[in-house]
Amino acid sequence: MALAALLALAGGARAADAARPVYLDPGQPVEARVADLLSRLTLDEKLALVHADSKFTTAALPRLGIPPRWMSDGPHGVREDVGPDTFVPAARTDDFSTYLPVAIALAATWNPDAARAYGDVIGDEARKRGKDIMLGPGVNIMRTPLNGRNFEFLGEDPFLAARLAVSYIRAVQAHDVAACIKHFAANNQETQRGTIDVEMDERTLREIYLPAFEAAVKEAHVWAVMGAYNELRGQHCCHNDYLLNQVLKGEWGFPGLVMSDWNGVHDTREAVFNGLDLEMGTNKPYAEYYLARPFRDGLGQGVYPLAALDEKVRRNLRVMIATHVLDGRPEGAINTAAHQAAARRVAEESIVLLKNAGATLPLDPSQLTSIAVIGENAVKLQAHSGGSSTLKAFYEVSPLEGILRRVGDRVNVTYSPGYRKDAAAELVGRAVAAAKAADVAVVICGLNHDGFDREGADRRDLKLPYGQDGLIQRVAAANPRTIVVLVSGSPVEMEAWIDRVPAVVEAWYGGMEGGNALAGVLFGDVNPSGKLPCTFPRRLEDTPTYAGGAPVFPGVNGAEHYEEGLLVGYRWYDTKAIEPLFPFGFGLSYTTFAYSNLRLVPGTDASGPVVTVQFDLANTGPRAGAEVAQVYVHQASPGLPRPAQELKGFQKISLPPGERQTISIPLDARAFAFYDPARHGWVAEQGTFTIQVGGSSRDLRLQGDFPLPRTIVEPAAAKD
Ligand code: BGC
């Protein structure tokens, strides 16, 4: 090409650049693009950006090349499409997705790298499915094992939940998809979830219910936060001045958007002034949403300042531009081999071996001629139920299918349901006969999403439904080699049979590869490495919210008082010296680990780690395996009362048999701190702290004292 022609081309490109508005120029800073786009919007275009125009979208602005924004549930995969104006499935054929193990299972991996792999699948599939904002992760703390949505969340400990949420969010957002952490805050039950007014003290809020959100904002830079349905201190969380304006945006400096939960908005004035940026799911025509016509009317009458609308729009545009909605994004992919492998890996790592007397597990197929598989959960598919987290899985390998695939036709596998809703007694009889005739009985039971682990209702008790206790007792009496596999999203009572069976496995809802993962553990291809992210109590009466009665849970006259305060999960059992059935952090392996040589290496600077916890971990058993080493901190004489111990560090370490590794886990000032409402900040007091390291909250093998040389105060409003 002639030089003149080339120059003309270059000139043309420059002219095009000059003509290109700033907001469409990826080379410009995000804030400049936001300001430019905001300046071009009419009042109605601005309003269109702060409320929905279908169940899961906001309107496109074609004049400016702004596409509709698509949101989708949910925490463990990209939900099937619904609507547009109803939750009834859209009956498409292109909206299948990878069904990952549910969030409580992810928590049981205790592995931030598993959370990264999980978020990576969700981000990739969200892009392929054309989604801009994914409604997860859910990080509401398991205050009571009765909460119907525990399966969607990350367990009872704020530190564990925070570490996993941060990895998950970073991985989702690496795909130019905004993650939306939910539900902010104190949404810890389904009973009266839309109206219950939660009262709790400030320390409890800061130390238990907010840290996962705080870490998501400060460390993972999450782009969206969903308000909770409930009220906190008399104000709905979707427009709660304290939570949204003061804490989230004020103290933590959150730059992204706050969206409501679906139908969680109740008042225009509060929605305008109290920190909400996007209204979703209101049960009204879209034009009548609180942030639609009523907002417009108020703006026209001068009741609301235009600056309030502009601020909301700015936040919506910031998320859009920062996630490159206007620049062209990765196309994404669904159901790839890598996604299937991630689903399987997370499932394998999540399975918790609770009991294994006499090395009943793993089973050796070459030593077996027959296995009696019993229980409805052996064949029940779980993806498509439970509430908003449901999805259309590409496939779902059931536990029975996983076992059949693993043992092929070398072993005679029989199946009998044993129980079912309204089961007839003959189901039990047939299962018992099958168990008697087989070398091994595997009872695959637990809960399901039909009436237990599901959105919209809490459980009434912790009992296994459908007469399963009796079934397990009878099967165990018929065959001493009875293995119980629990499929559930929250703890169940086991007193009726735990002493009568040699082996128990918690398999959670393991996603579409769950059956393969379970078979891997049962037959020893996979050495179990999951640890409980929540305490399994002996009985409901032992749980933190039980003693206080209805005013503490589930509330009376529309209000509920978190009187157990900080004593949630193991903080309760350990401080009150109540023996759980299985403690927080517990999980067996087919190998054994030895801990030795604890060293507490002090740091020098309050801004860096205060102390590094070093120790040696050795695999002393016959097989390769992974251990989750956990670090708990106890303060000898705190200025304010504290729980007996708190998790402040952990690491999952894979070791070949016979190998030893030195592990270093850094603890910063926050690891020693409590929240002091009087000082409005985190205080790590000078004095002695006991640091314990081990394989569960009740299996602490190493202990050392660390003298914190001086008091460190971190104001709540400090930016990281
Ligand atoms: C749930 C949210 C969910 C939303 C949209 C609500 O009922 O609480 O978690 O994201 O519905 O489906």
Task: For 469-523, write each residue's pLDDT tens digit.
Answer: 999 999 999 999 999 999 999 999 999 999 999 999 999 999 999 999 999 999 9
The closest residue, in CA terms, to atom 4 on ligand 1 is: 262
Q: Is 69 left (phi over 0), alpha (psi -120 to 50) or beta?
A: beta
C-alpha of residue 509 to centroid of ligand 1, in Å = 19
At residue 10, does pLDDT exceed 70?
no
C-alpha of residue 568 to centroid of ligand 1, in Å = 25
pLDDT score at 346: 98
Mean pLDDT computed over 582-611: 90
pLDDT score at 422: 79
C-alpha of residue 41 to centroid of ligand 1, in Å = 30
Q: Is 444 left (phi over 0), alpha (psi -120 to 50) or beta?
A: beta
Model confidence, pTM: 0.97
- Residues of the chain with pLDDT > 90, as a percent, come to 94
At residue 609, does pLDDT exceed 70?
no
pLDDT score at 408: 85
For residue 152, give the ligand 1 atom closest to its CA.
9
Mean pLDDT computed over 241-249: 98
For residue 387, give the ligand 1 atom closest to its CA.
7
Stronger pLDDT, 662 or 425, i.e. the higher one:
662
C-alpha of residue 181 to centroid of ligand 1, in Å = 11
Write out residues with Cβ below 6 Å of ligand 1. 73-74, 135, 182, 261-262, 388
CB neighbourhood size of 551 (10 A): 14
The closest residue, in CA terms, to atom 11 on ligand 1 is: 262
pLDDT score at 604: 66
Handedness of CA 680, 607, 248, 205 (dihedral sign): negative
For residue 281, give the ligand 1 atom closest to its CA.
5
Name the residue of 57, 135, 258 to mutate for ligand 1: max ligand atoms within 8 A of Cβ: 135
For residue 187, give the ligand 1 atom closest to its CA.
8
pLDDT score at 672: 96
On the 0-12 / 13-18 / 19+ scale of CB atoms within 10 A, 402 is buried
C-alpha of residue 265 to centroid of ligand 1, in Å = 13
For residue 717, name the pLDDT band (cuts at 50, 70, 90). Answer: confident
For residue 183, give the ligand 1 atom closest to its CA.
9
Per the listing, tokens 């490159």 go with: 324
Name the residue of 57, 73, 86, 102 to mutate for ligand 1: max ligand atoms within 8 A of Cβ: 73
- pLDDT, one tens digit per residue, over 83-123 is 999 999 999 999 999 999 999 999 999 999 999 999 999 99
Please choose, from the candidates 525, 470, 526, 522, the residue with its C-alpha nearest in 3D space to the C-alpha of residue 500.
470
For residue 73, give the ligand 1 atom closest to its CA.
10
CA distance 634 to 636: 6
Which tokens hold the place of 237?
Answer: 């969380």
Name the residue of 388, 389, 454 to mutate for ligand 1: max ligand atoms within 8 A of Cβ: 388
- pLDDT, one tens digit per residue, over 327-358 is 999 999 999 999 999 999 999 999 999 999 99
C-alpha of residue 218 to centroid of ligand 1, in Å = 24
| DSSP state letter for 33 | H
pLDDT score at 117: 98
Q: Choose, from 73, 120, 197, 261, the residue flagged as catalytic.
A: 261
Handedness of CA 289, 290, 295, 301 (dihedral sign): positive
C-alpha of residue 571 to centroid of ligand 1, in Å = 29
pLDDT score at 160: 99
The closest residue, in CA terms, to atom 9 on ligand 1 is: 388
- pLDDT, one tens digit per residue, over 633-681 is 999 999 999 999 999 999 999 999 999 999 999 999 999 999 999 999 9
Catalytic residue status for 261: yes
